[in-house]
Chains A and B, each alone.
Chain A
Amino acid sequence: MSNLRRHLAFLVLGALGLIILPYFISSRFYIDVLTLIFFTAYLGQSWNILGGYAGQFSFGGVMFFGTGAYVSSILLTTFGFPPIFGIFLAILGGAFLGLIVGYMSFRSGLKGSYFALITLAFAELLRVLANSVEFTGGGVGLFLTYAPGLSNLQFETPVGFYYFALVLMFISIAIVYWLEGSRFGAQLVAIRENEDAAEALGIDTLRCKIYAIMIMGAMGGAAGTFYSQKYLYLDPPIAYSIHLSVEMLLVTIVGGMGTIFGPLVGAFVLHTVNEVARHFIDTPGLSLIVYGLILIIIIGYLPNGLIGAFKKKEKKSGSNSLDKKRSREES
Chain B
Amino acid sequence: MLRVNNLTKKFGGLVAVSSVDLEVNEKEIVSLIGPNGAGKTTLFAMVAGFLKADEGEINFENASIVGMKPHQICQRGMVRTFQITQPFAGLTTLQNIMVGAYSNTPQTISARKKAEEVAEVVGMTSLLSQGADGLTVAGRKRLELARALATDPKLLLLDEVMAGLNPAEIDEIVKVIKGIRDRGVTIFLIEHVMKAVMNLSDRTYVLNDGKLIASGTPSSVAENPQVIEAYLGHGAAEAMAEGA
Contacts and interface: CB of A to CB of B under 8 A. Distances in A.
- Interface of A: prevailing SS: helix
Interface in A194-209: 194, 196-205
Interface string A179-203: 0011100110110111011111111
B70 interface: yes
Interface in A272-331: 322, 326, 329-330
Given A187-B99, A189-B91, A197 B71 contact: no
Give the contact-size bracket for chain A.
20 to 34
Given A201-B74, A201-B151, A326-B130, A196 B86 contact: yes
A201 B134 contact: no
Interface string B85-106: 0111111000100111011011
Given A187-B99, A189-B88, A194-B87, A200 B74 contact: yes
A203 B98 CA distance: 12
A201 B69 CA distance: 11
A187 B102 contact: yes
B88 A193 contact: yes
Interface string B132-144: 0011100100000
B99 A190 contact: yes
A187 B72 CA distance: 15
B36 interface: no
Contacts of A186: 95, 98-99, 102, 108, 111
A203 B50 contact: no
A201 B103 contact: yes
A189 B50 CA distance: 21
Nearest to B108: A181
B48 A200 contact: yes
B33 interface: no
Contact of B134 (A181, A200, A326): A326
Given A182-B108, A183-B106, A187-B99, A199 B89 contact: no
B133 to A, nearest CB: 9
B82 A196 contact: yes
Contact of B91 (A193, A201, A322, A329): A193
B79 A330 contact: no
A47 B138 CA distance: 37
B136 A201 contact: no
Interface string B101-143: 0110111100100000000000000000011001110010000
B171 to A, nearest CB: 19
Contact of A183 (B80, B82, B86, B108): B108
A101 to B, nearest CB: 21
A280 to B, nearest CB: 39
A200 B111 contact: no
Contact of B89 (A182, A194, A201): A194
Q: Which of B70, B81, B100 has the most CB of A within 10 A?
A: B70
Nearest to A258: B90
Nearest to A322: B130
Given A201-B151, A322-B130, A193 B71 contact: no
A143 to B, nearest CB: 47
B199 to A, nearest CB: 27
B53 interface: no
Q: Which of B86, B87, B148 has the most CB of A within 10 A?
A: B86
Contacts of A202: 71, 74-75, 79, 100, 103, 151
B147 interface: yes
B17 to A, nearest CB: 19
Given A183-B111, A201-B148, A196 B50 contact: yes
A199 B106 contact: no
Q: Which of A194, A196, A203, A330 has the most CB of B within 10 A?
A: A194
A197 B111 contact: no
A297 to B, nearest CB: 21
A203 B89 contact: no
A1 B132 CA distance: 19
A202 B69 CA distance: 9
Contacts of A205: 71
20 contacts: A181-B108, A186-B98, A187-B99, A189-B88, A190-B91, A190-B99, A193-B88, A194-B87, A194-B88, A194-B89, A197-B82, A197-B87, A197-B88, A200-B70, A200-B71, A200-B148, A201-B100, A202-B75, A204-B72, A329-B135
Interface of A: 181-183, 186-187, 189-190, 192-194, 196-205, 322, 326, 329-330
Given A187-B102, A326-B130, A329-B134, 7 more contacts: A183-B111, A193-B89, A193-B90, A200-B48, A200-B82, A200-B86, A202-B71
Closest 10 CB pairs of A and B: A202-B103, A202-B74, A193-B88, A326-B134, A197-B86, A199-B70, A190-B99, A183-B102, A201-B100, A183-B106
